[in-house]
Amino acid sequence: MIVESVGEGVTELEPGDHVLPVFTGECKECRHCKSVESNMCDLLRINTDRGVMLNDNESRFSINGKPIYHFVGTSTFSEYTVVHVGCVAKINPAAPMDKVCVLSCGISTGLGATLNVAKPKKGQSVAIFGLGAVGLAAAEGARMAGASRIIGVDLNPNRFAEAKKFGVTEFVNPKDHNKPVQEVIAEMTDGGVDRSLECTGNINAMISAFECVHDGWGVAVLVGVPSKDDAFKTHPMNLLNGRTLKGTFFGNYKPRTDLPSVVEKYMNKELDVEKFITHEVPFSEINKAFDYMLQGASLRCIIRMGA
């Protein structure tokens, strides 16, 4: 996205800047933004119900005199949009927008969940639950961290071959076993993996991801978003025995502060973004991108604006 114009009071951006819009934000003023331990901005964290701009509670879009409400602070399914300055990250203008645009959501979420939260040490083992775009990005993070074993867990066996490109070394389909998958992984790894990441939002997968890490030092990170009525249930001894359970949001990246450095990982060839892209469709055929995703054929679609 290229900045077309800026509103009153905006000083960090100017027309012509290259930016990535992000569904969550960073005001840089609240306690969360000032803390090195959080990226959950009080002002601009994701809010699916807001639908309006913050300063006047009005929409900037309309059709035939009726308002069209904003979507998660970005409304990027349009050729022009209006975004709070805290929800755009200024990036290297040399970065190809049709590639780095995928870093605004799932790729950074999975990558950061591994590198910033799970933090596997070189030579450790990692289990990834769910091999969609977020899970593959988590696996990519494990590969970059030097994990010795990266075990992919998914109900769709068609994803296993693709996952090898992202460093996954072994695969487990829970449907192939007559015991809980956490027990299968514990047997494979002499007591459990060092780190696990759950990237599906399925509550049973979350429980399995936690219970499959090794006692004493294992860390499980929940990345997927569960149903509002779900409840996480496990025996307290799993915690008392030294397992750690963590959660993360957008990979613990602060959008404005940290996302430019993720773009630089791509520019420096540390991060291969192209392999996450499976389809490109023109903006006029945007519904086709949704069809691809519903069919399970796409990891991540690129939508060309204005075509």
Taking only the tens place, the pLDDT of each residue in 22-44 is 999 999 999 999 999 999 999 99
Element (H, E) at 152: strand 149-153
User: How confident is the model over 161-180, as a mean pLDDT?
Assistant: 95
Q: Kindly report the CA angle at 247 between 85 and 213, in degrees rounded to 5? A: 150
pLDDT digits 0-9 by tens, 295-306: 765 455 555 554
Structure-token pair, residue 270: 């540390």
Reduced to 3 states (helix: H, G, I; strand: E, B; else coil), residue 98 is helix
pLDDT digits 0-9 by tens, 128-164: 999 998 999 999 999 999 999 999 999 999 899 999 9
How high is the pLDDT of residue 53? 87
How high is the pLDDT of residue 46? 87
Q: Say which range, 200-204, 262-266, 296-300, has the weakest mean pLDDT.
A: 296-300
How high is the pLDDT of residue 307? 43
> Who has greater pLDDT, 221 or 101?
221
pLDDT digits 0-9 by tens, 210-243: 999 999 999 999 999 998 899 999 999 999 999 9
The rounded percent of the chain whose pLDDT value lies above 90 is 70
How high is the pLDDT of residue 50? 87
pLDDT band for 199, please (50, 70, 90 cuts). very high
How high is the pLDDT of residue 300? 52
Q: Kindly report the CA angle at 71 between 65 and 72, in degrees rounded to 5? A: 150
How high is the pLDDT of residue 302? 53
- Scanning the chain, the segments in alpha helix (DSSP H) are 31-34, 97-100, 106-112, 133-145, 159-163, 181-188, 203-211, 237-240, 255-267, 286-294
Reduced to 3 states (helix: H, G, I; strand: E, B; else coil), residue 130 is coil
Rounded to the nearest integer, the mean pLDDT of the chain is: 91
